[in-house]
Structure 1
């Protein structure tokens, strides 16, 4: 019986796509590591506050402050900075101060990442490849960040350059499908039909698909048929 199901492999992380849009992320520190954390948070549409003396800001963080991309508090961290924070990213070269931030976050039940201190992290940052809506993350669970970067580059080298554009179009098609078939009970049929489109159409077809093609393809949803792109265009 046990062979019918996947074995449990302990020691991993629960890798999820954390939605931080419009949430408040506090970054403690303003150096190179903090700059990377800030960019990740901004890419996820978070509201970012950076707590660090202006003298400690590196060129990239100073640029984001000057451009108004983040809110800057020009001083060292204080416990009151945690008020209203949904997440804390700490990247300072002071182990004692970092541990204090970690302990305060635990008291307030705020998820936190203390850079380069795996035991003081609720989550880790992996090595990420980005192409539009496509994000691929490789994690070593804090054991080998450089190796994660090497693996990520190998994976990225195997992906087509236009994968992001194809995913954008699939997302638009999926949204249009929900508009014409909004009922919850149609969920399984929608999923099966969309899967069929992704499996039967080539990547180039998905990239080339325009609004007229989508409308023509959606006309076949009710029947469950999935015509080829050239068939869709022939009937337009």
Structure 2
């Protein structure tokens, strides 16, 4: 017995849920009539054109919104008719979309369309529609249609935003690669399905990527910490010269050791601020700007190298974006480091400038704590190289800012957060490495006690911070950090101005 014959006894009341049958129309090969050219008409036109740019559309309306005229003028196949609707407008059409807001006219056109067996959509009138223009998520060749059965376009819109944000742009690359793989397969349908299942099995894992990343980072840092402790212990008990050297270290080393530990703990808890807090602390300790930036960047090499490698291993890195960022970023960082070291003798001028930069970042941290900033998804940044160069330059001059400048710009421009973070972390390793080498090569006086204090202190804190990040108040820490950075930066600026006067 067929499925149809089994279901013949179903009544309308016994059918529940969305009964719509989803289809994807080749609108490029169909002719569409759009009646109405106001705000609703503009919305419908945008939906049609954004999904099928070559659709032949005839727009009929006695009043046209300027935006509709501008949009229609960009496509030669769109025809505009400045008049009221006429029954002859339905001739040679395949689909009708009504955006008039006139219920009487809508009912009249619907009746005429039914006589001609044309499918019709009436804005905000689900009961008059033969089909709905659902929310569409588009990522290259991937297209997802969302329908709420006409009950809540707002919910459909919100779901679209969620999918649009979380589905990576690189998914289109995966589709093309899977299509290439599919075209190389020989055999029957079952064989092809099994082969494709094996190829996509990597996408489904029992633990999330974030959990795996945290676990691996914890293992690496723990092993590094244990190894460092063992080496220090061996030298301490077996080498009197090493013990005498350690006992003779200046107090500055221990100050920076403690600062590196505390600041890395803060960075691990809130995911930001190590660069700005380390630079602010270094300046407050009397370290010149170039030496302060050197200490920060050297201490970040190891942490960013491990983080970048982990993201690369978890396939969170967009390699094309990486090269576009890394090469100009390294160039910008080296130029910034070169300029800052050559101005080392003028640190009475550069110091308040860098403090002004840290002051601005402190305000940004404080605003983030109060969630004053709003999420904005704008047009994608086209000039990635310029972003990388500027971010690298400012990062070297100001002692930090690569992540806050580059990462926030990429995400605000609509790029996938996971791929942006992985790419920025990996490129950050090379930025820190090359700027550190530039500083160390050009500086005459290197504050090794500050550098080693930050390196060892941050290394000791990293595995602990990873574990404590979920158990403390992020907002409270961000507020405290923001206030401290602002106060210390202001103190440096004011002191410089007083001395100048």
Query: Do the structures match in fold with TM over 0.5?
Result: yes
Counterpart Cα distance in 2 of 1:204 and 1:60: 42
Question: Residue 62 in 1 paired to residue 64 in 2?
Answer: no
Are the counterparts in 2 of residues 90 and 114 from structure 1 also a CA contact under 8 Å?
Answer: yes
Q: Deviations over 1:119-160 (max 9, x none)?
A: 100011222221111222221111111121122223333322
Structure 1 residues 117, 155: CA separation in 2 closer, same or farther (over 3 Å shift)?
same
Deviation >6 Å, runs of 4+: none
Among 188, 191, 207, the residue aligned to 1:189:
191
Structure 1 residues 61, 195: CA separation in 2 closer, same or farther (over 3 Å shift)?
farther
Name the residue aligned to 2:474: none
Counterpart Cα distance in 1 of 2:197 and 2:55: 31
Shift of 1:9: 4.4
Counting only pairs closer than 5 Å after superposition, residues 99-114 of structure 1 correspond to structure 2 as 99-114=107-122
Greater helix fraction, Structure 1 or Structure 2:
2
Name the residue aligned to 1:48: 57
Structure 1 residues 83, 147: CA separation in 2 closer, same or farther (over 3 Å shift)?
same
Among 87, 90, 95, the residue aligned to 1:87:
95
Question: Residue 21 in 1 paired to residue 23 in 2?
Answer: no
- SS of residue paired to 2:188: helix
- SS of residue paired to 1:193: helix
Name the residue aligned to 1:117: 125
Counterpart Cα distance in 2 of 1:32 and 1:170: 41
Structure 1 residues 117, 49: CA separation in 2 closer, same or farther (over 3 Å shift)?
same
Counterpart Cα distance in 1 of 2:179 and 2:40: 33
Name the residue aligned to 1:162: 170
Are the counterparts in 1 of residues 31 and 56 from structure 2 also a CA contact under 8 Å?
Answer: yes
Structure 2 unaligned runs (5+)? 1-14, 205-313, 320-501
- SS of residue paired to 1:29: strand
Counterpart Cα distance in 2 of 1:188 and 1:84: 44
Shift of 1:12: 2.8
Question: Residue 130 in 1 paired to residue 138 in 2?
Answer: yes
Structure 1 residues 119, 199: CA separation in 2 closer, same or farther (over 3 Å shift)?
same
Structure 1 residues 90, 129: CA separation in 2 closer, same or farther (over 3 Å shift)?
same
Q: Which structure: larger Rg? A: 2
TM score, norm. by length of structure 2: 0.35
Aligned length: 192
Are the counterparts in 1 of residues 18 and 148 from structure 2 also a CA contact under 8 Å?
Answer: no
Q: Deviations over 1:2-43 (max 9, x none)?
A: xxxxxx744431122222222101111112222222233232
Are the counterparts in 1 of residues 55 and 77 from structure 2 also a CA contact under 8 Å?
Answer: no
Structure 1 residues 200, 147: CA separation in 2 closer, same or farther (over 3 Å shift)?
closer
Are the counterparts in 2 of residues 138 and 148 from structure 1 also a CA contact under 8 Å?
Answer: yes
Counterpart Cα distance in 1 of 2:22 and 2:166: 22
- SS of residue paired to 1:52: strand
State the structure with bigger RCO (CA 8 A, min sep 6), 1 or 2.
2
Counterpart Cα distance in 1 of 2:55 and 2:180: 24
Are the counterparts in 2 of residues 25 and 41 from structure 1 also a CA contact under 8 Å?
Answer: no
Structure 1 residues 117, 167: CA separation in 2 closer, same or farther (over 3 Å shift)?
same
Structure 1 residues 69, 186: CA separation in 2 closer, same or farther (over 3 Å shift)?
same
Counterpart Cα distance in 1 of 2:68 and 2:177: 34
Structure 1 unaligned runs (5+)? 1-7, 209-236
Greater strand fraction, Structure 1 or Structure 2:
1
Name the residue aligned to 2:485: none
Shift of 1:173: 4.3
Structure 1 residues 100, 129: CA separation in 2 closer, same or farther (over 3 Å shift)?
same
Q: Deviations over 1:62-99 (max 9, x none)?
A: 01332225111221111111111110011012111111
Kindly report the root-mean-square deviation, in angstroms, between the aligned alpha carbons of the 2 structures. Answer: 2.7
Are the counterparts in 1 of residues 32 and 97 from structure 2 also a CA contact under 8 Å?
Answer: yes
